[in-house]
Every structure is written in C-alpha cells, then in structure tokens.
Amino acid sequence: MTTVRRRTKVPARWRLFACGLALLAGGLVAAGAGGWLPHPSPQTSAALTPADPDAAMPVPKQHNFSSSNTTHMTGIEIPLRVGLEARVPAQLSDVLAFYRTELAKRGWEERPEGTVVAADHAQLAFVSPKGPATLKLGRAKDETTVDLVQRNTEAVAKANFLPIAGQARLIFGYLAPDTASLTINDQTIKIAGGVNHPQTLDLPPGKYSYKLVVSGYPVRTDTITVASGEAWSLSLGDNDKKPDQIY
C-alpha cells in the first residue's frame, strides 16, 4: 500500500510574506506531495536504481519514504525552487554514489566548494541546467536521509529576488500597511505592506540579528546567516517559522 500526501500552506491573516505561502490574492505558493512504503526493506549495500529514470529529481527505487515540494511566485509559471526529501535503507556511501551518478546524467556539475563527505553526513553543491543546487545526506534510524534542492535562476530573476553581486537578499512584507518594521544591521525599515508587495534588502554575507515589530510590539527576535548569492524570506506566523532560503 502506498499513501500519497499533498499539502498546501495557507497564510494566517497577519503574516509576513514568506516563500512557500500563498498570500491572499497573490504571493508565494508552496505545494508538496509525498509517499510512503509501509514495509521498509533491510539496509543493503547493493547498487541503487532510480524509481523513475526520467524524473528530474531522482530517488532510489529502494526508498522507504519520499516527499517532493515546489515553491512558486504568483504570475510566474515555473517554480522558484524544487525540493525532494527521502529516506533510503542503504549506506550513506551507496546513496551518495547513486546521486553523483544520476545527477551527472541530468547535466548537474558538482562543485568542489563546500563539499563535505563523512561517515554519517555529506553535503555537495552543484550547478544544474536551471541554477544552483544542493544535496545533503544524513543518517537516522539505520536509514540515509536525503535533502535535494534545485533553484531556478530564471524564475528568481523574474520575481526580482536575485541579490546583487557579492551580497545576499532578504525578502519580507506584511499585509497591513504601515504597521510593521524590520530592524537589522543597525537600520530599521518600515514595511509598506499590502497584498503581493514584498520588499527586499541586500546585505553583505554574514550573521545578523534581526527584530520584527508589529504595531509597536516585537513579534520575533532571531538571527540569520547569509552567504553571497543567496536569497531568504523572513516570515511571521503562528507556526514560529524560521527564515526560508529560496535561492
């Protein structure tokens, strides 16, 4: 038996714009689908094969769980980001070999910068035909966990979310006009507000403390670490959502 899960996140009435949320009449929309196999097979070191050889985001046929998600901006047909999460009952080295082989077939070029490969975790960066991508592997309960993300440069540029060269970009907004503000990097920015009108701020790479204030009351104080070329959304909601990297 296979269970298929589909989920769509809907925004709270008073919420900052966040990638992965639908903002009333417009904004960012995230959708996901996942499936489970009810009887995990024992861990094996046999060669892994793709469940669908033609899938853009491959997953081994031998997986116990997989979940896909896409992030869209209203008015832009192609997704800003595509993600895949999975759990595979195989050694991390075998899952790593599977993804290096399958992603190379799809034209993904592995980059040496930031590559980490250890017995219980791995992180690789790629340049894919659509934009930058990352693969993160870990170990949990005798399984290898998979987190594969591909970002679409064309879609992010159309949404005006690409940062200027050498910097990172923050995206934020609020539905109610002139009631919210963001304090970060020794500056306070009033959030104009309104439906589907996110604001942006470019910052040098680094770690920043920030505070979100609504109607004079602080609603979130947190930190965010950004690198050159990245884009992050800052959100405010009932689920205490952390900053979300969209590029």
**CATH 3.30.160, the chain: domain bounds:** 37-154
**Residue 198: per-residue pLDDT:** 81
Q: Where are the alpha helices (DSSP H) in 205-245?
A: none
Element (H, E) at 73: strand 65-73
Q: Give the strand pairing for 231-233 and 199-203.
A: unpaired
**Residue 17: per-residue pLDDT:** 37
Per-position b or e across 178-210, b if 16+ CB within 10 A of its CB? eebbbebeeeeeebebeebbbbbbebeeeebeb
**Residue 190: per-residue pLDDT:** 87
Q: Give the strand pairing for 231-233 and 132-140.
A: unpaired
**Residue 113: per-residue pLDDT:** 87
**CATH 2.60.40, the chain: domain bounds:** 162-245
**Residue 80: per-residue pLDDT:** 92
**Residue 202: per-residue pLDDT:** 95
Q: Which CATH architecture has domain 37-154?
A: 2-Layer Sandwich (3.30)
**Residue 236: per-residue pLDDT:** 61
**Residue 2: per-residue pLDDT:** 23
**Residue 6: per-residue pLDDT:** 32
CATH of the domain spanning 162-245: 2.60.40
Residues in the chain where the model's pLDDT stays below 50 = 1-30, 36-42, 44, 238
Cα–Cα distance, 203 to 189 (Å, whole number): 13
**Residue 145: per-residue pLDDT:** 98
